[in-house]
Amino acid sequence: MNINFNKSCCLCIGPRCDIVCEAVSSSCNRRLPWVSNMRYLSEHFVKSRTLKCYLDAAKRGFYRAANSIYGKIGRIASEEVVLQLIKSKCVPVLLYGLEACALNKSQMALASLEFVVNRFFMKLFNTNNIDTVKACQEFFSFELPSVELAKRVVKFESKVNTV
């Protein structure tokens, strides 16, 4: 099998992840570098003691999609239309493939996935008050990413267990 050395790398995950390892060599004496983070099937992983997803790329994708929508229709459309577009187009960008990753509590909490949605609500409703944001989310029945992800995980696990 041919190895594409421009796209291949090594990532250490486990209790000995901090130990410096020798580069992996091929039969033609080309070496694969050790990296601290990598992308595999559109998911980003980081070097750590446990398998850990790197969510910054997903957050950037959400912001990119949300700002694109907001830049095009911003104040022209109603809040309901903007939020429906965010829910249907941007939240899937944020959550893509995360049901297969085991996220820890801090990654699913306000400081991570929900923060990006809360910041968009702050921008849309021109406020910095988190209580106002929560009231708007409740009024418009907007599910937070952690709730949506929990549903996806249950669905994913039920499909995996039947296989």
pLDDT in tens, 53-86: 777 888 889 999 999 998 888 778 888 999 999 9
pLDDT at residue number 85: 92
Clarify whether residues 4 and 75 are in a common domain.
no
Residue 133 has pLDDT above 80, yes or no: yes
Quick one: which of 42, 43, 45, 41 has its CA closest to 17? Answer: 45
Clarify whether residues 110 and 142 are in a common domain.
yes
* 9 in Cβ contact with 33 (< 8 Å): yes
Element (H, E) at 156: helix 145-162
Q: Which of 33, 54, 75 is the last residue of a domain?
A: 54
Task: Give me the number of domains the chain comprises.
Answer: 2
| Range in 102-106, 130-134, 136-140, 154-158 the model is least confident about | 102-106
Residue 131 has pLDDT above 90, yes or no: yes
Clarify whether residues 37 and 70 are in a common domain.
no
Of residues 71 and 7, more confidently modeled: 71
What's at 131, amino acid-wise? D
Instruction: Return the bridge partners of 52, or none.
Output: 46
Q: Which of 54, 70, 93 is the last residue of a domain?
A: 54
Clarify whether residues 19 and 63 are in a common domain.
no
Tokens 């599910």 belong to which residue?
A: 143
* pLDDT band, residue 105 (cuts 50/70/90): low
Clarify whether residues 143 and 68 are in a common domain.
yes
pLDDT in tens, 118-128: 999 999 999 99
- Could you tell me the two tokens for 7? 């796209």
Clarify whether residues 75 and 134 are in a common domain.
yes
pLDDT in tens, 13-59: 788 777 777 777 877 788 887 877 777 777 777 777 777 777 788 88
| Greatest extent of the chain over all pairs of C-alpha atoms, in Å | 62
Clarify whether residues 12 and 78 are in a common domain.
no
Clarify whether residues 34 and 73 are in a common domain.
no
Task: Quote the distance between the C-alpha of residue 157 and its chain's center.
Answer: 19
Domain that holds residue 138: 56-162
